[in-house]
């Protein structure tokens, strides 16, 4: 597989009361077009990741909204896979090019979350789990990951409360160095530990926030990308799935779908975990990042904590994780997150990440999870030499 990244565009993430779903989406779309230096009529197809348009804005049909925004009449599809919607849209864009149907594709992700109450957002997000088996019992999204954290930390007590907090501390450190990030502020372990409890053992600072934002990326066939001077290629795309509900899983101490997706993507790219320069992973909750680095093969199951003992995951460390600030600091506009990860990987490989630039970045991996692990998508990005 070889699909070029031609252009990237992202809005500022945060509480964007001034902009609605459409305006956010348009902003990112126009930015990626400009960055790719192409015109809208050169796009052959559009894919847009979005989860809550229907329940939070009363707006579905976001696929056609994206083509309408650019005044084109090309095939346009909305893709939904909960918090992995963005990466699933990216994959559809890749497949459209790989199939020969399209030469240039625009893939977007958008979420407008702050127009409604936290309780309404909580209910919408729980749609990513099993509504009948979990939601009806009052389980929330943080609650699902709290159940995973409790099971994991009971089986692997080496992951202490302080080391779990390090995930959030590190992501805020990176976020402070990222201009499109929602929370550009460094925090300490005490900030995490002393914050309001959301679902034991997870506090407010273990949880990714409610965010508005959009992100857009333009993909091109290998030939077209070469002709237009693309510096980054996508060389692997894997998706794994599992049960919607935690009770149906074989394990509560790992997210197997992530491991399945990584195996497929690494095989396509012809790489091993040791060759990866950096990764953007799905830290919707601190425990999820620990499970992510294990799924991606940077640590064995139960040993992910070791990467957080000596700043190994900082941008200048051995295996930098979430240089964008992750979902925790950068924000988590659900449908946009997968595309944001792809944009951060592209910036790192282009060498334009400035204050958080990873040295000698050659291969970057993105890891995006939907629900409590019912969907996981992994993509491998490579610097073009």
Partner 1 sequence: MFRDSSIIRWRNYSDRYMLEGYECTNCGKKYFEKKGMCVCGSLDFNNLSFCGKGKIVSFTKIHSGPEVFQEQTPYCVGIIDLDEGARITAQIIDSKYKDLSIGQEVEAVFRKFYKSGEKGVIHYGTKFRPKF
* Contact residues for partner 1, defined by CB under 8 A: 118-120, 122-123, 126, 131-140, 142-143, 146-148, 150-151, 154, 196-201, 245-248, 252
DSSP-derived 3-state class of residue 132: coil
Rg (the chain; Cα; Å): 19
Show the 3-state SS of 74-112.
Answer: CCEEEECECECHHHHHHHHHHHHHHCCCCCEEEEEEEEC
If phi > 0 it is left, if psi is from -120 to 50 it is alpha, else beta; for residue 65 that is alpha
CB of 165 to partner 1, least distance (A): 17
Catalytic residue among 83, 181, 207, 330: 83
Long-range CB pairs of 74-78 (<8 Å, 24+ gap) are 74/43, 74/44, 74/45, 74/46, 75/44, 75/45, 75/46, 76/45, 76/46, 76/47, 76/48, 77/45, 77/46, 77/47, 77/48, 78/47, 78/48, 78/49, 78/50, 78/53
CA distance 128 to 212: 18
> Is there a catalytic annotation at residue 83?
yes
Q: Mark whether 379 is an active-site residue.
A: no
- Give the nearest distance from C-beta 52 to partner 1 in angstroms: 14
CB of 187 to partner 1, least distance (A): 20
Nearer to partner 1, 197 or 267 (CB): 197
What does the DSSP assignment read for 165-206? HHHHHHHHHHHTT-TT-S------HHHHHTSPEEETTEEGGG
Shortest approach of partner 1 to residue 194 CB, angstroms? 14
Catalytic residue among 172, 332, 367, 379: 332
Shortest Cβ distance from residue 336 to partner 1 (Å)? Answer: 23
Nearer to partner 1, 100 or 138 (CB): 138
Residue closest to 370 by CA, chosen among 268, 288, 267: 288
Looking at the DSSP bridge assignments, the partners of residue 327 are none
Nearer Cβ to partner 1, position 12 or 150?
150
Q: 117: which residues sit within 8 A by CB, 6+ positions away?
A: none
Q: Judged by CB, which is closer to partner 1: 154, or 352?
A: 154
CB nearer partner 1, residue 173 or residue 285 = 285
| Cβ proximity to partner 1, 36 vs 149, nearer residue | 149
Q: How far is the CB of 147 from partner 1 (least distance, A)?
A: 4
Nearest-10 crossing angle of helices 256-269, 286-295: 40
Active site residue ranges: 83, 332
């Amino acid at each position: 597989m070889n699909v070029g990244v031609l252009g990237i565009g992202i809005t500022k993430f945060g509480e964007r009361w001034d902009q609605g779903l459409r305006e956010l989406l348009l902003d990112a779309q126009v930015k990626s077009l400009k960055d790719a230096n192409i015109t809208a009529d050169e796009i052959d197809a559009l894919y847009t990741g979005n989860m809550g348009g229907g329940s939070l804005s009363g707006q579905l049909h976001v696929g056609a909204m994206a083509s309408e925004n650019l005044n084109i009449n090309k095939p346009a599809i909305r893709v939904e896979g909960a918090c992995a919607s963005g990466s699933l849209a990216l994959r559809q864009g890749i497949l459209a090019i790989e199939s020969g149907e399209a030469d240039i594709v625009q893939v977007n992700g958008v979420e407008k979350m702050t127009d409604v109450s936290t309780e309404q957002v909580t209910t919408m997000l729980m749609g990513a789990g099993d509504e009948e088996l979990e939601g009806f019992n009052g389980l929330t999204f943080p609650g699902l990951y709290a159940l995973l954290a409790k099971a994991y930390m009971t089986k692997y007590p080496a992951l202490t409360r302080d080391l779990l907090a390090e995930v959030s501390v590190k992501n805020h450190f990176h976020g402070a160095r990222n201009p499109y990030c929602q929370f550009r502020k460094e925090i300490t372990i005490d900030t995490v530990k002393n914050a309001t409890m959301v679902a034991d053992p997870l506090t407010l600072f273990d949880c990714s926030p409610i965010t508005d934002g959009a992100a857009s990326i333009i993909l091109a066939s290998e030939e077209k990308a070469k002709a237009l001077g693309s510096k980054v290629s996508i060389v692997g795309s894997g998706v794994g799935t599992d049960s919607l509900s935690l009770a149906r899983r074989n394990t509560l101490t790992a997210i197997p779908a992530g491991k399945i997706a990584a195996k497929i993507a690494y095989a396509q790219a012809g790489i091993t975990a040791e060759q990866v320069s950096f990764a953007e992973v799905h830290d919707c909750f601190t425990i999820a990042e620990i499970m992510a680095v294990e799924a991606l093969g940077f640590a064995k199951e139960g040993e992910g904590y070791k990467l957080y003992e000596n700043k190994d995951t900082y941008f200048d460390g051995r295996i930098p994780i979430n240089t964008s600030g992750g979902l925790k600091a950068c924000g988590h506009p659900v449908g946009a997150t997968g595309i944001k990860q792809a944009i951060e990987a592209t910036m790192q490989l282009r060498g334009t990440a400035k204050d958080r630039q990873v040295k000698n970045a050659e291969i970057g991996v993105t890891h995006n999870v939907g629900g409590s692990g019912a969907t996981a998508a992994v993509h491998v990005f490579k610097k073009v030499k």
